[in-house]
Amino acid sequence: MGKINYEQLRIQRQKFLIIEKSWVRTQRELEKLPGKFGFGSMDQLIEALRDVSYNAIISRKKSYLKPRQKRRTITPKIKQRVKQLVEAGKTGAYIATHVKISIPTVHNIKKGLGLVRARNSRSS
């Protein structure tokens, strides 16, 4: 068997004591946690957290069950109205609300009609 290095053993013991103190501090903080949120015990806090997370999961699932809206058909009349509003200086958000289409759709119509200025390309 090899020789015991007492200096390394002492250093490891100090590291252990530091970790142990940190662990004790963390335990004390955890014990106070239910009281901070108005619960009598850790079990009550955990049960409340489970309920909240379960309800969040259920509400997310319900949002997936909603039927999707039917896509709006972009008619030439809509395109003409967008063109008139752009030429009148209206914003994309205003046009989208007024014509009842999305802002990206407004942008796509503007692009299709050649009403969007090209972005300046960056030179490297």
95 and 52 both lie in a single domain: no
Instruction: Quote the percentage of the chain above a pLDDT of 90.
Output: 49
To which H or E segment does residue 76 belong?
helix 76-87
Q: Note the pLDDT of residue 123.
A: 53
In terms of pTM, does the model score above 0.75? no
Q: Note the pLDDT of residue 65.
A: 60
Q: Note the pLDDT of residue 119.
A: 72
85 and 42 both lie in a single domain: no
Q: Note the pLDDT of residue 121.
A: 58
More confident site: 73 or 3: 73
3-state secondary structure 29-67: HHHHHHHHCCCCCHHHHHHHHHHHHHHHHHHHHHHHHCC
- Over residues 83-120, the pLDDT tens digits come to 999 999 999 999 999 999 999 999 999 999 988 876 76
48 and 89 both lie in a single domain: no
52 and 91 both lie in a single domain: no
Range of the structural domain that residue 104 is part of: 76-112
C-alpha to C-alpha distances, 102 to 84, 85, 94, 113, nearest whole angstrom: 17, 15, 10, 17
d(CA 80, CA 100): 14
Q: Please, which pLDDT band fits residue 2 given cuts at 50, 70 and 90?
A: low
Tell me whether residue 99 is in a domain: yes
